[in-house]
Structure formats: C-alpha cells, structure tokens
Amino acid sequence: MPPRRQPTARQERLGAELRKLREAAGLKATQAASLLGVNSVQMSQIETGVAGVSEERLRRLAAHYACADDELVSALVAMATDRTRGWWEEYRGSLPHPFLDLSELEHHARFRWDVDFLHVPGLLQTEDYARALFSYVNPEFPEEEVDRWVEHRMRRQVVIERPEPVPYETVVHEAALRIMVGDRAQARAQLRRILEMSEADHVSVRVIPFDVNGFGGAGSTMVYAGGAVPALDTVVRDGPYGTVFIDAEAQLHRFRTLFHRLESVALEPGRSREFIHRLSKEL
C-alpha cells in the first residue's frame, strides 16, 4: 500500500500513540523497525500516520513494548483496522482538512463537551446562524462556497441527532447567546433550537451568566471529544494559526479539570433553560 499523501488527524493519532508506547519502553525506532522487518523510513511512516499498520503488527509491537493496557491496545487496533468512509469524505478537497478531521473525531467520540463564549457551539447552530457567521467571517467567499461550509456544519449535527447519539454537554456564556450574529428573528430561532435540543436526555446545556462573580475563564473555549479510553481523548482548539488537536495527557487532564470547573460556576441545566427562555422573550 503506497504512503498516504495527507493522513487524517485520526491516522496521525494512531501513529503518535505507537510512538509514545515505544518511547515509554525505552526503545529506538530502529529496534521497532527490526522487529517488524521494515526499515527506519517505513517505521517513521507508521509513527506519523503516513503508512498504516495491520492488527498483527500492532499487537506484536504492543507486546514487545510490554504494554499491559489491553483496553488501549484494543482501541488502537480498532483505529488501525477501521475502514469507515464517512460522509465527510464528500468534502475532501473542497473544505479545509481540520473540518473533516473534526467530523471524523466526532463520529467516533464516546462523548462530547463544548465550551464557547462568543458563538453558539456548532452542534447547536441553526442553518441561518451558521450562514450569517461564515458570510461575515469570509465576505470574499462566493455564495456556493458558503453553502458548502454551512451544509457541512449542519451534517455534523448528526452525532447528537442519530438513533444512538453521542452524549453531549456544553457550557456557553451569556455573551454567546446575546451577540446578534444574524437578525432578531434568526436570533430567536437560534435560542429556540438550543431550548429544543436541551430537552433531549443526552444533551446538557449550561449557561454562565454575566453576573457570575470572580470569573476569569473566558479564554477557555474548547471542543473535548472522549476516546474509546481516556488516553485517546482529544481537545480541539482554534488558534491564531489554525486548528490544533491536543492529545498530551498532561494537557488533557488540564482541560478535563477546566471543563468541570466551568460547569461548577454555570447554571444547572433546568435554570439554564429558564435563562434562555427569558432571553428569547427580550428579543
């Protein structure tokens, strides 16, 4: 099989996890390559996601690395042998790679957490809200390109609408609910959408009001996707230089702690629904 020209974030993550296991075992890449009967270049391609790895080879590496975490190994095998060609592949070549990587990540996630302070989280946006947002941020885009971005965002929402949805929790600041991304009618429709989704058993929406005392966490926007095991969790953040996928254990721990801290200062779900309902009446 020829090397991949553009590995996905999921493929890169598999390679990175294999590299972590090798380094934890104190072995060099050349030693792992010798075990598999490949050269150092091929081993590097496996560990960067440029080349795939079979279940037999993966289990051989895990055994040689003395990895005793059977759940992690099984999760890595599932990643290595997965041949899912998801709906997001229809957009390859027409949307930025991080959009497709996020869709794939959401598809496989065991749970999703969102934190947002300036915009309604993407999984809860209405089509009009998303269109107004993309059109404003990218005014030079032709209408058909905006249509494609909006369509992709709407299709992402399948993860919380399908028969077996992903458990979803979000913390959103009052500012995100008040900012008029579209017109007044669109803003009311967006709040109704949030209220409707918040009634689902698998969805939890918590609001942080402006009047919370001592709150300094407004820079904590994140998407947190739960992996098959906690070691395979991923945080996605948008930065000045693009979208970043974070998987270092120390950082994952920090973001887990931060999410629960933000939850603790937000209104509980019932009071959050009442808050959003009152806000919709003001518009």
Question: In sequence order, what DSSP letters do the residues of 77-104 get, joined into one string?
Answer: HHHHH-----GGGGGBTTB-HHHHHHHH
Interatomic CA distance for residues 54 and 76, integer angstroms:
11
32 and 131 both lie in a single domain: no
Interatomic CA distance for residues 82 and 58, integer angstroms:
14
Find out whether 116 and 232 touch, Cβ atoms under 8 Å.
no
Find out whether 259 and 251 touch, Cβ atoms under 8 Å.
no
Q: Under 8 Å CB-to-CB from 144, ≥6 apart: which residues?
A: none
Where a domain ends, among 62, 81, 100?
A: 81
The arithmetic mean of pLDDT across residues 210-234, rounded, is: 93
226 and 261 both lie in a single domain: yes
Q: Which tokens hold the place of 235?
A: 């945080």
Angle between helix 55-64 and 9-24 (nearest 10): 30
Other beta carbons less than 10 A from residue 49's beta carbon: 22
Residue 262 is part of a domain; what is its CATH number?
Answer: 3.30.870
Beta strands in the chain (DSSP E): 111-116, 168-173, 203-208, 222-226, 234-239, 242-246
- At 283, the pLDDT band (50, 70, 90 cuts) reads confident
Examine residue 2 and state whether it is found in any structural domain, yes or no. no
Q: Which tokens hold the place of 260?
A: 């629960």
Examine residue 109 and state whether it is found in any structural domain, yes or no. yes
Where a domain ends, among 59, 81, 103?
A: 81
Examine residue 229 and state whether it is found in any structural domain, yes or no. yes
Find out whether 170 and 259 touch, Cβ atoms under 8 Å.
no
145 and 253 both lie in a single domain: yes
Per the model's pLDDT, the better-predicted residue between 246 and 84 turns out to be 246
pLDDT of res. 2: 65
State how many domains the chain has.
Answer: 2
Angle between helix 70-81 and 9-24 (nearest 10): 140
274 and 149 both lie in a single domain: yes
- At 139, the pLDDT band (50, 70, 90 cuts) reads confident
Q: Which whole-number Å values give the CA distances from 120 to 57, 69, 79, 115, 229, in the listed order? A: 44, 38, 31, 9, 28
The arithmetic mean of pLDDT across residues 85-98, rounded, is: 94
Nearest to 221 by CA among 174, 168, 171: 171
Nearest to 223 by CA among 78, 119, 72, 86: 119
Considering the chain, what is the average pLDDT of its residues?
95
132 and 77 both lie in a single domain: no
For the chain, percent of residues with pLDDT exceeding 70: 99
Q: Which tokens hold the place of 205?
A: 């929406």
Examine residue 1 and state whether it is found in any structural domain, yes or no. no
149 and 45 both lie in a single domain: no
pLDDT of res. 257: 96
101 and 57 both lie in a single domain: no
pLDDT of res. 28: 96
Examine residue 143 and state whether it is found in any structural domain, yes or no. yes
Q: Which tokens hold the place of 187?
A: 């803003």
Where a domain ends, among 23, 49, 81?
A: 81
Is residue 141 predicted with pLDDT exceeding 90?
no
Interatomic CA distance for residues 227 and 261, integer angstroms:
21
Torsion of CA 121, 127, 132, 133, to 10 degrees: 30
20 and 45 both lie in a single domain: yes
pLDDT of res. 179: 96
128 and 252 both lie in a single domain: yes
Is residue 3 predicted with pLDDT exceeding 80?
no
Q: pLDDT tens for residues 169-203?
A: 999 999 999 999 999 999 999 999 999 999 999 99
Q: Which tokens hold the place of 58?
A: 């993966």
Q: Any idea what DSSP says for residue 132?
A: H
Residue 69 is part of a domain; what is its CATH number?
Answer: 1.10.260.40
114 and 56 both lie in a single domain: no
Examine residue 165 and state whether it is found in any structural domain, yes or no. yes
Examine residue 3 and state whether it is found in any structural domain, yes or no. no
Handedness of CA 166, 156, 217, 255 (dihedral sign): positive
73 and 98 both lie in a single domain: no
Interatomic CA distance for residues 160 and 12, integer angstroms:
26
| Residue 256: domain span | 87-282
Examine residue 260 and state whether it is found in any structural domain, yes or no. yes
170 and 45 both lie in a single domain: no
pLDDT of res. 1: 56
| Beta bridge mates, 92 | 95
Is residue 241 predicted with pLDDT exceeding 80?
no
